[in-house]
């Protein structure tokens, strides 16, 4: 029995892929370890959305050289989005010849056979498929983290081809899972005691477009409403262009789908949005937000915003700031544009100098932090249902959970409340969380 160690870079999709890798490793008899030095097999699940993610992988692999030399039987594997890039497998092999196994996002299910080849044939194995198999592989073992919240893939790939994004090239075209397979997995998650599921896809509200009209995302949410054991349903990520009135109505009437809307706007300038090929205008985005807030007044709205896209002028950036002021997002994931080789934006004229990007991102962060703090302060006196996730690291006796809007809430209470849904009255708002006390009207 060899200990295994998995290092994950990137998004929630990668996190869930690592859970599948862990499940397959444990089905082979491997046992988990938190210490990389103790591992008999090390798997790096990689991301390539930005250059910094790749650099972290290279750095980590470099540090493994001595460990591999001291233990030639150690198996080192690299998988994930980074390996799907053209010529990356060959580059990894050239830079790190002691890496035993390189595989991609489309052949995760092949891991047991690939490991066997490494062990039996004592050779370096590379297998990176260009696309998902014709029939999606279902029923793979999963070793989920925690006992409260679970990831659930509903689709793979992306058809949007935003000009800055490498995801369609490394994750492939959109493929929806069959609804019966999703429902079956959700029911299993519920039976295992998980209270919350997060549906995963690069663009979840495109779900079903390749299923010949069998079902759309709104219909899938309605089906999942009846799954036992699950109290909450979340999803990510959704594209503003495909967020329909039907979807808003289904969420407004649901007892389980949370009122948290993460809608990446990326920019507030129509000219920049057009160059990004986002498929909507500033006005259409604002209209969507208006519809959501009108239908679901307690909705939490969060977003992604990119600064420094090629050709972004000061007037474009000011339009982004003005959109942030108008919408008043509860929080934003803000980042600077990072050119990715092979994407159209990387070859666009008007690449923005790094000092300008830095200045703009700092201005955006200051504005968003001000709005986030103001909105959280305004929460004082509100009563929320909170799913208790565990103890806070900041103080003994302090518990931590999330409300349906995905805001972190801390409060004093006993550990036997963990995994339960309780009512909490908010007493104070902070930049990144809310403080409260348990409400007397116990559930």
pTM of the model: 0.93
Q: Are 69 and 80 in contact (CB under 8 A)?
A: no
Nearest to 189 by CA among 226, 149, 223: 149
443 in a structural domain: no
pLDDT value for 50: 78
175 and 122 share a domain?
Answer: no
Q: What is the CATH number of the domain that holds 167?
A: 3.80.30.20
**In 56-130, where do the E strands start and end?**
75-80, 101-103, 125-127
pLDDT value for 48: 86
pLDDT value for 321: 98
Distances from the Cα of 149 to the Cα of 51, 226, 266, 389, 421, angstroms: 30, 18, 28, 9, 13
Q: Are 53 and 86 in contact (CB under 8 A)?
A: no
218 and 247 share a domain?
Answer: yes
pLDDT value for 395: 84
Q: What is the CATH number of the domain that holds 432?
A: 2.40.50
pLDDT value for 213: 86
**How is residue 157 written in tokens?**
């790939």
Sequential pLDDT tens for the chain (443 residues): 799 999 999 889 999 999 999 999 999 999 999 999 999 999 999 998 877 888 999 999 999 999 999 999 999 999 999 999 988 999 999 999 999 999 999 999 999 999 999 999 989 999 999 888 888 999 999 999 889 999 999 999 999 999 999 889 888 899 999 999 999 999 999 999 999 999 999 999 999 999 988 999 999 999 999 999 999 999 998 999 999 999 999 999 999 999 999 999 999 999 999 999 999 999 999 999 999 999 999 999 999 999 999 999 999 999 999 999 999 999 999 999 999 888 999 999 999 999 999 999 999 999 999 999 999 999 999 999 999 999 998 888 899 999 999 999 999 999 999 999 999 999 999 999 999 999 977 54
Q: What is the CATH number of the domain that holds 105?
A: 3.40.50.12160
192 and 93 share a domain?
Answer: no
Burial class (CB in 10 A: 0-12, 13-18, 19+), 284: middle
Spatial strand order of the sheet with 41-46 comes to: 31-32, 3-8, 41-46, 75-80, 101-103, 125-127
Domain of residue 123 covers: 3-127
392 in a structural domain: yes
**In 124-195, where do the E strands start and end?**
125-127, 149-153, 155-156, 175-176
26 and 93 share a domain?
Answer: yes
pLDDT value for 442: 53
213 and 351 share a domain?
Answer: yes
To 5 degrees, how large is the angle CA 166–CA 172–CA 174? 115
Q: Are 392 and 398 in contact (CB under 8 A)?
A: yes
The residue among 339, 357, 377 that closes a domain is: 377
If one counts the domains in the chain, the total is 3
308 and 196 share a domain?
Answer: yes
Phi/psi for 356 (5° steps) reads -70, -45
Nearest to 277 by CA among 248, 323, 313, 310: 310
């Amino acid at each position: 029995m060899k200990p295994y160690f998995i290092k994950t870079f990137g998004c929630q999709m990668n996190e869930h892929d690592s859970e599948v890798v862990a499940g397959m490793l444990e089905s082979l008899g491997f046992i988990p370890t938190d210490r990389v030095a103790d591992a008999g097999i090390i798997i790096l699940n990689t991301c390539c959305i930005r250059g910094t993610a790749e650099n972290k992988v290279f750095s980590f692999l470099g540090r493994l050289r001595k460990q591999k030399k001291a233990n030639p039987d150690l198996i080192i594997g690299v998988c994930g989005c980074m390996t799907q890039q053209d010529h990356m497998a060959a580059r990894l092999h050239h830079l790190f010849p002691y890496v035993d196994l390189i595989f991609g996002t489309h052949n995760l299910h092949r891991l047991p056979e690939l490991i066997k080849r490494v062990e039996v044939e004592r050779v370096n194995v590379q297998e990176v498929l260009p696309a998902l198999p014709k029939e999606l592989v279902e029923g793979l073992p999963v070793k989920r983290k925690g006992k409260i919240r679970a990831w659930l893939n509903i689709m793979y790939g992306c058809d949007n081809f935003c000009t800055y994004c490498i995801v369609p090239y490394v994750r492939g075209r959109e493929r929806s899972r069959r609804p019966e397979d999703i429902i079956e997995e959700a029911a299993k998650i519920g039976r295992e005691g998980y209270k919350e599921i997060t549906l995963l896809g690069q663009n979840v509200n495109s779900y079903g477009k390749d299923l010949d009209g069998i079902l759309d995302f709104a219909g899938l949410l309605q089906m999942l409403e009846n799954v036992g054991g699950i109290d909450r349903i979340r999803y990510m990520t959704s594209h503003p262009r495909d967020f329909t009135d039907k979807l808003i109505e289904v969420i407004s009437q649901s007892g389980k789908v949370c009122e948290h809307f993460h809608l990446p706007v990326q920019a507030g300038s129509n000219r920049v949005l057009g160059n990004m090929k986002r498929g909507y205008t500033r006005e259409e985005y604002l209209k969507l937000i208006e519809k959501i807030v009108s239908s679901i007044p307690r909705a939490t709205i969060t977003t992604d915003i990119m600064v420094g896209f090629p050709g972004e002028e000061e007037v474009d950036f000011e339009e982004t700031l003005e959109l942030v002021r108008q919408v008043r997002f509860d929080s934003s994931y803000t980042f600077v544009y990072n050119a990715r080789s092979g994407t159209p934006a990387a070859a666009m004229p008007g690449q923005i100098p790094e000092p300008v990007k830095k200045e703009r991102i700092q201005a955006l962060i200051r504005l968003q932090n001000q709005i986030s703090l103001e909105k959280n302060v305004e929460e004082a006196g509100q009563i929320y249902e909170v799913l208790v996730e565990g103890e806070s690291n900041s103080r003994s006796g302090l518990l931590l959970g999330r409300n349906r809007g995905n805001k972190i809430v801390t409060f004093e209470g006993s550990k036997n409340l963990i995994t339960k849904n309780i009512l909490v009255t908010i007493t104070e708002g902070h930049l990144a969380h809310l403080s409260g006390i348990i409400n007397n009207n116990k559930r």
